[in-house]
Amino acid sequence: MSEHPEYTEYHPRWLRRRPSTYWWLERRAYLSFITRELSSIFIAWFVVYLLLLIRAVSQGDSSYQAFLEWSRHPVVMVLNVVTFLFVLFHAITWFNLAPRAMVVHVGKKRLPGSFISASNYGAWVAATALVLWLLLGG
């Protein structure tokens, strides 16, 4: 045996094939998964949009009117229509998976999933009503 055996790096051939970068186009379930993932961008955009609204309101009535004018710009409108669809998709799928994520026991009995979904949708209705009442009611 030689003093310095030559070391050949053994690298096994991967059995797993690297999935295509476009794997999410292959099935509907994958596509809806990636759609839900992309909703994150639109949520971030809308937070920025609301922050601009808050800044405008804190600057006075004329800034608020300028913001409302800007919100009628076609590019902003299209962006917000797309945002609405993504956010709605996020909300519905989020509430539908809630029973699978939340396991609530009362005593020894597990509350049925339908009860959990119903309470989530109830909270959604309540939050929506609260916003409407604060801004438009009375």
Partner 1 sequence: MAKRSLEPVLWLLFSAGGVASALFVPILVLLFGLAFPLGWLSPPSYERIHGVMTHPLTRLVLFGVFTLSLIHGAHRFRFTLYDGLQIKHLNELINLFCYGGAIALSVWAGYLLWRVA
| Residues 36-55: x where in contact with partner 1 by CB under 8 A, - otherwise, as a string | -xxxxx-xx-xxxxxx-xxx
Among 7-15, 17-25, 104-112, the segment contacting partner 1 (CB under 8 A): 17-25
Q: Residues with Cβ < 8 Å from 95, sequence gap 6 or more?
A: 117, 120, 121, 124
| 3-state secondary structure (DSSP) of residue 110 | strand
Distances (CA, A) of 74 to 39, 69, 80, 104: 21, 11, 10, 46
Tell me how far apart the alpha carbons of residues 34 and 31 are, in angstroms, rounded to a whole number: 5
Rule CB under 8 A: is residue 26 a binding residue for partner 1?
no
Tell me how far apart the alpha carbons of residues 33 and 20 are, in angstroms, rounded to a whole number: 16
Rule CB under 8 A: is residue 99 a binding residue for partner 1?
no
The values of phi and psi at residue 58, to 5°, are -70, -15
Among 3-11, 34-42, 103-111, the segment contacting partner 1 (CB under 8 A): 34-42
Number of residues that bind partner 1 (CB under 8 A): 52
Rule CB under 8 A: is residue 27 a binding residue for partner 1?
no
Shortest separation between residue 124's beta carbon and partner 1, angstroms: 6
The values of phi and psi at residue 102, to 5°, are -110, 120
Residue numbers of the site for partner 1 (CB under 8 A)?
Answer: 18-19, 21, 24, 34, 37-41, 43-44, 46-51, 53-55, 57-58, 60-61, 64-65, 68, 71-72, 76-77, 80-81, 83-84, 87-88, 90-91, 94-95, 101, 123-124, 127-128, 131-132, 134-136
